[in-house]
Structure 1
Amino acid sequence: MIIVGPLLVITGIGFLCWLLFTLAVFALPFFVGLTTGIWAFHTGAGVLGCIAVGLGAAGATFGIGQLALAYVPWTWLRMLIVVLYVAPATVAGYSATHGIALIAMPAPIWQTIFAVVGAIAASIAAFVRITGKTAPGPAG
């Protein structure tokens, strides 16, 4: 048990990090879907209504972002759209890494250092995944 426990903890942390980097692209659609779903629930839509509204808003946010990246001709506007999608991924990466660091180490300065490194890594992963999903811009 003494050997299996730490291995399971390391495996769990590795899985959470993989999940974070894989889903970092969807941080903005998730936040939009969650916010609109909660809003719909509080306006009386019910449980199924708020789930439908949240899923629709999240899907629309992701689809509109991808269409905007595919059809906007100006580089500065495309970069602004990418930053709009990467910023929530940075916040999510910081929060998730800080939560993992709280479990793993007692020193607050090292928790913050690892959280910042995790935020940077999540930002880079989201940037690469978002820019890799779009079609190349028009030639010339």
Structure 2
Amino acid sequence: MLALGLVLNRLGIGLFCWAIFALAVYALPFFVALSVGMLAFRDGTGVFGALLIGISSGALTLAAGQVAVAVSRSLTLRVAIATVFTVPAAIAGYQVIFALSQIGVPSLAWREAFACLGAVCIGGTAWTRLAVFAGTLPSESAGAVVNAPEPVLTAAAHER
């Protein structure tokens, strides 16, 4: 029974860590959705209206950020947009790792060190996930040959 508890404990911690890294990009849209939803609820839209407005604002924030990174030709603008999405993820990573390190690390200095390392790792993960949307633009050739001659088919190619 002890072995099963240890295995399930490691599995649970691994699943939690995977969720933190997988959801790092969504820290800014979640913050926007939560803020707009709470503002809408305070202004009297009700629970359903606040949920609808909050979810749609968060989805719009995420879609606008991804489209802006994918369409932008300016490297400076891409870096600025990626930074806007990465900073809240790094702050959330810092807070999560600091809270988790309070369970088993008695020293405040080591907790801070682990939290800073977690912020860098989770912020880097968010940055990398946003870099996927900044692939080469269709107008850029990316090293591809534009007018390559068609290969000549020989009789040996037809016999196969």
The size of the alignment, in residue pairs, is 140
Correspondences of 1:84-103 after superposition (within 5 Å):
84-103=84-103
1:110 corresponding residue in structure 2: 110
Residues 98 and 115 in structure 2, CA contact (< 8 A), matched pair in contact too: yes
Any idea what the Cα deviations from partners look like across 1:36-95, whole Å, max 9, x if unmatched? 001011001111001000111001001111111122111101100000010000001101
- Stretches of structure 1 that go unaligned for 5 or more consecutive residues are none
Regions of 4+ moved over 6 Å: none
* Percent of paired sites with the same residue: 35
1:74 corresponding residue in structure 2: 74
Correspondences of 1:1-140 after superposition (within 5 Å):
2-137=2-137, 138-139=139-140
Shift of 1:5: 4.3
Distance 1:78 1:33 in 2: 23
- Stretches of structure 2 that go unaligned for 5 or more consecutive residues are 142-160
- Over the aligned positions, Cα root-mean-square deviation in angstroms equals 1.6
Distance 2:25 2:97 in 1: 16
**Structure with bigger gyration radius:** 2
User: Higher relative contact order by CA 8 Å / sep ≥ 6: 1 or 2?
Assistant: 1
Residues 38 and 84 of structure 1: CA distance in aligned 2, closer, same or farther (over 3 Å) = same
Q: Which amino acid aligns with 2:31?
A: F
Q: Which has the higher helix share?
A: 1
Distance 1:16 1:129 in 2: 18
TM-score normalised over the length of structure 1: 0.91
Shift of 1:14: 2.0
